[in-house]
């Protein structure tokens, strides 16, 4: 089969397609023919070495496709089922294996592309809005990168839960997308001080929660956006990791909370994985959740897909197709 291989960490150019042996499903595993691969910043972190992984490797964890074989002890899936997962082993390939316990069935009314776009980013937006800080009517939240893959989904989910939604974007075009996803106020961080604007728009009080996937360049001012006893949810670091900081700043700024969550801890059980995916898929089916797929790249152009994501020129989800 064809697969992207990474022999050494580095820039996008280290992503090279090669012919590799077909994988075989082990006990409890499912083999899927990959039809759509979700591109995520974790793929970039692994490629660059920010997150360490044994080399050489085939990157990617998020994919959707069709079951072509099952290993021993697999009872819930059969050949021909449409399935998706954010725990795929080597998703940048024509074939990939995944534990049946980490796999969900794609229901009618949801396309394979939509499923591939939702398993990681949709589940992330879901846990952020419903579990890390369970938004409720009367809450206000700030979503950084409001026109990104998670951002557009999170704005919609936050609005569904009755929150007042603030979003940051870099351009007026992206601002329009964030507003279309439910953002009540959009701040252009390239021309405006987002902390000062957030304070102004909330009458000086601040928001209950900031959802920050940017990291290094936004962290300090994200703290400044929070109301007393508010929470900064740092769930990514697209601009780089946040340096060590003095924890006393949290009490000086109003007894603030800080958390650094990861999706794995919010879908740790199969029951929680299925609950989140079922609810997200139901919203897609009834039309209350829009999935924006911005760009699709062939497997041979995986490097270009990474360049597009890292340039922050994308809006919504980027897919790679074998």
How confident is the model over 278-297, as pLDDT tens digits? 999 999 999 999 999 999 99
Burial of 284 (0-12, 13-18, 19+ CB in 10 A): buried
Q: What's residue 315's pLDDT?
A: 86
* 206-249 pLDDT per residue, tens: 999 999 999 999 999 999 999 999 999 999 988 888 999 999 99
* 75-88 pLDDT per residue, tens: 999 999 999 999 99
Query: Where do the domains of the chain lie, and which CATH numbers do they carry?
Result: 2-119+292-321 (3.90.180.10), 122-264 (3.40.50.720)
Split at pLDDT 50, 70, 90, the class of 48 is: very high
Average pLDDT over the chain, rounded to whole?
96
Predicted structure pTM score: 0.93
Q: What is the mean pLDDT of residues 152-167?
A: 98
Q: Buried (b) or exposed (e) across 244-282, using 16+ Cβ within 10 A?
A: eeeeeebeebeebebeeeebeebbeeeeebeebbeebbe
* 183-210 pLDDT per residue, tens: 999 999 999 999 999 999 999 999 999 9
């Amino acid at each position: 089969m064809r697969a992207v291989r990474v022999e050494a960490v580095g820039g996008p150019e280290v992503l090279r397609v090669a012919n590799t042996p077909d994988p075989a499903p082990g006990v409890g595993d499912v083999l899927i023919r990959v039809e759509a691969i979700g591109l995520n910043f974790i793929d970039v972190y692994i490629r660059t070495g920010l997150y360490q992984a044994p080399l050489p490797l085939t990157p990617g964890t998020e994919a959707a496709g069709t079951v072509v074989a099952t290993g021993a002890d697999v009872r819930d899936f059969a050949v021909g089922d449409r399935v998706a997962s954010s725990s795929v082993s080597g998703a940048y390939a024509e074939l990939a294996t995944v534990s049946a316990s980490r796999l969900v069935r794609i229901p009618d009314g949801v396309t394979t592309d939509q499923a591939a776009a939702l398993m990681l980013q949709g589940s992330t937006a879901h846990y952020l809005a419903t579990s890390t800080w369970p938004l409720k009517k009367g809450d206000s939240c700030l979503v950084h990168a409001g026109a990104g893959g998670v951002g557009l989904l999170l704005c919609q989910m936050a609005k569904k839960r009755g929150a007042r939604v603030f979003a940051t974007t870099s351009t007026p075009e992206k601002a329009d997308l964030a507003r279309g996803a439910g953002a009540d106020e959009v701040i252009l961080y390239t021309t405006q001080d987002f902390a000062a604007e957030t304070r102004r728009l909330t009458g000086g009080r601040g928001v209950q929660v900031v959802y920050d996937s940017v990291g290094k360049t936004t962290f300090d001012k994200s703290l400044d956006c929070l109301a007393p006893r508010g929470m900064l949810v740092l769930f990514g670091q697209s601009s780089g990791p946040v340096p060590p900081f003095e924890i006393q700043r949290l009490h000086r700024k109003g007894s603030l909370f800080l958390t650094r969550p990861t999706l794995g801890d919010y879908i740790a059980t199969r029951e929680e994985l299925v609950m989140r995916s079922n609810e997200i898929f139901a919203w897609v089916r009834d039309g209350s959740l829009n999935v924006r797929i911005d760009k699709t790249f062939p497997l041979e152009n995986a490097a270009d897909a990474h360049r597009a994501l890292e340039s922050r020129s994308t809006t919504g989800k980027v897919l790679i197709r074998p």
